[in-house]
A and B are shown apart, each in its own frame.
Chain A
């Protein structure tokens, strides 16, 4: 038997019709996640063509991008950014009702960011193919699922046929050897990786993250890593499932139960790259070298340790990026004055992310003049955080504790920064204007975000962690 990679194993079990020179493979999709922004035109197309959903039972929808994160008024009215946003949400509610799709809307105790609730509900499982009209679908790869973002035309394809036309991607192994230093986390690691391989370093490839430092990560941390695979241009990111994965999934509403669970785990254990299987490319990263890492430019590949000097611009685009960010070559990012701090997004809005930020903030206060927003990834995360009293840590520190949603990551719901403001953000994209026209984004971990909020400047969280916490 030929040795196979994890990607090849998942791919092969989902081929409905094999790839030929003239035609791509027809690949079956196990789970189709839906949100309000990239689906309306696909539903319209289905209606125009008189088509039905092939498998509404394999779809899961939520409201997250256009939704306000301030609570509803006493009369139930929600503070939408505009009428169009409100109409877009209403349209998904109508579409789900008409087509019979499970929607976690305003009335659901499980509503949240699509890439947070899929795993939470146990809908995301090892070995699956998972798609969504959203590039951060790569998040679900943390469970050993082949998960990737698609455009709206393809959303329509999956709705009508449960399949996609796909060419097999190339494979890239990223081996992360060793151990992350104390006080350095998954976000620092993935920023370090993208800084190393570049914003297009994964284009055309599916990444498999491997090695001791990856195996040591919790599920939340694995999701943070896989989430940002697309920021290196990769189609998807994968981590082989193990006991950490199975323990996390067991007992969740959509996960198998009883004898079916045991059988599923038996199958899932085979989902790993065979010894001797070859990748198209391999990269090695030494975890011990990773430091608290931030971005200094206008794409996630422009990332460095916060105490390292900002590299000089090598071309006119990098010059423009440094000018936009007002980053100075030769000076570290650490110490840069901060206006806004955002903790949230599908990258870092899970319970452990909030705990990480809270452990730094605990008993301290956000610097005067700094606005800090904490937006949990889902209603479940919100509940769990409030049960632990994390919301009091945030509000006592002067931060705003919000209703779950994508919020200031994509800044299309009214949560945004003003022109020129510098945002230390736990999200995934530092593109020009991403968090508001003219806003300057520095990507960072939840711990760095919290430390920077306290200091009013980009700060090393290790200075705020006690010895026990750091260990």
Chain B
């Protein structure tokens, strides 16, 4: 994974609460055996009209939302299935951060492992962000704050290990593999108990 240290972008807003992973990428596209190229399927049934043209009512199709890498979404974003295709699709679409007052556990875990900043902010800050689409934000992963256009800051907390991995591009599988001896010891203790 490439290190993710800061992210600067305008925000796009999806006010809907409980945006589930089926809305992020519908299940019928999960027959893929690849993890790349899913951006064109992101928010598919919301984003396109039945004839395949862009749905003008989908907020991310608005001209001012184009190219925004930071998504401010309604509460409980990413609920539903464990499909990692959801963060893969968002990243390929160009979304590199999701800001929300609450993010579903499995989605958040999957997102951070792929360098997608899934960041929880307080309800008041969340409300403010939802009400101010299109503002320029700078997310600082090292010092855990979001810089606002007026110089103000929103502090946030990432799980310390996830933050460490983001900052240093640490491969978590590599980290686990370093503990092979401890795993072997544990397995031996299981055999002994049996």
- Give the interface of A toward B (CB within 8 A): 16-17, 21-24, 26, 28, 37-38, 40-41, 44-45, 49, 51, 54, 65-66, 81-82, 84-85, 87-88, 91, 133-135, 149-154, 156-157, 160-163, 165, 167, 199-200, 203-204, 230, 233, 235, 299, 301, 315-317, 320, 410-412, 416, 429, 431-434, 437
Contact = CB atoms under 8 A, between A and B. Distances in A.
Interface of B: 15-18, 20, 22-23, 26-28, 30-35, 45, 74-76, 79-84, 87, 102, 104-106, 109-110, 113-114, 159-161, 164, 172-173, 175-177, 179-180, 182-183, 186-187
B61 to A, nearest CB: 17
B33 A154 contact: no
A156 B173 contact: yes
Nearest to A91: B33
A6 B134 CA distance: 47
B67 to A, nearest CB: 26
B15 A316 contact: yes
Contact of A199 (B76, B109, B179): B76
A21 B113 contact: no
A26 B177 contact: no
B114 A153 contact: yes
Contacts of A149: 81-82, 106
B104 A203 contact: yes
A429 B80 CA distance: 8
Contacts of A81: 28, 31
Nearest to A24: B161
Given A199-B79, A203-B105, A433-B26, A88 B173 contact: no
Contacts of A316: 15
A81 to B, nearest CB: 7
B22 A431 contact: yes
A439 to B, nearest CB: 11
Interface of A is mostly: loop
A401 to B, nearest CB: 24
Contacts of A200: 18, 75-76, 79, 102, 104
B18 A199 contact: yes
B161 A22 contact: yes
B20 A299 contact: yes
A162 B79 contact: no
B30 A65 contact: yes
Nearest to B104: A233
A15 B110 CA distance: 22
A433 B23 contact: yes
A283 to B, nearest CB: 18
Interface-centre pick from B81, B83, B109, B160 (highest chain A CB count, 10 A): B81
Contacts of A230: 106
